């Protein structure tokens, strides 16, 4: 029953309730087939100026499995485009 030690940066991140530097939180899962989160989608859509579910799928694979998440991906694209930036915020926040 030993305890693994954590380094200082990880300890500070845990205590601050934030991810360690360089670690992105994907947000709630939108595409279960490919484990792609909402924040990841918003970021990818913004960075690449994506405007279709096909384009998002080409970059992230989201929507390329069963396809049940495509309406939600299209909704996220619309919201991001409408807002101009979409920012890094979750749409559900
Ligand atoms: S949930 Fe996204 S392709 Fe199946």
Structural contact between residues 44 and 27, judged by C-beta atoms closer than 8 angstroms? no
| Cα-to-centroid distance, 17 and ligand 1 (Å) | 30
Q: What percent of the chain has pLDDT over 70?
A: 87
Q: Give the count of domains, the chain.
A: 1
Q: Is residue 44 part of a domain?
A: yes
Distance (Å, whole) CA 51 – CA 60: 14
Distance (Å, whole) CA 42 – CA 85: 9
Ligand 1 contact, 68 CB (< 6 A): yes
Q: Is residue 67 part of a domain?
A: yes
Return the DSSP state at 50: -
* 91 has a pLDDT exceeding 90: no
| Average pLDDT of span 63-87 | 89
Please tell me the predicted confidence (pLDDT) of residue 89. 45
Ligand 1 contact, 61 CB (< 6 A): no
The CATH number of residue 81's host domain is: 1.10.10.1100
Return the DSSP state at 3: -
Please tell me the predicted confidence (pLDDT) of residue 87. 46
Cα-atom radius of gyration of the chain, to the nearest Å? 16
Query: Which of 31, 53, 54, when mutated, tests ligand 1's pocket best, judged by the most ligand atoms within 8 Å of its CB?
Result: 31
- Strand segments (E) across the chain: 29-31, 36-37
Q: What percent of the chain has pLDDT over 90?
A: 57
Q: For 16-53, how does the pLDDT look when each residue is reduced to its tens digit (9 = 90+)? A: 887 777 777 889 999 999 999 999 999 999 999 999 99
């Amino acid at each position: 029953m030993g305890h693994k030690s954590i380094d200082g940066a990880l300890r500070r991140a845990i205590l601050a309730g934030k991810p360690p530097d360089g670690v992105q939180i994907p947000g709630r899962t939108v595409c279960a087939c490919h484990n792609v989160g909402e924040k990841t989608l918003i970021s990818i859509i913004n960075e690449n100026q994506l405007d279709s579910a096909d384009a998002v799928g080409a970059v992230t694979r989201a929507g390329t499995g069963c396809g049940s998440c495509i309406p939600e991906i299209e909704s996220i694209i619309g919201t991001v485009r409408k807002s101009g930036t979409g920012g890094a915020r979750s749409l559900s926040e």
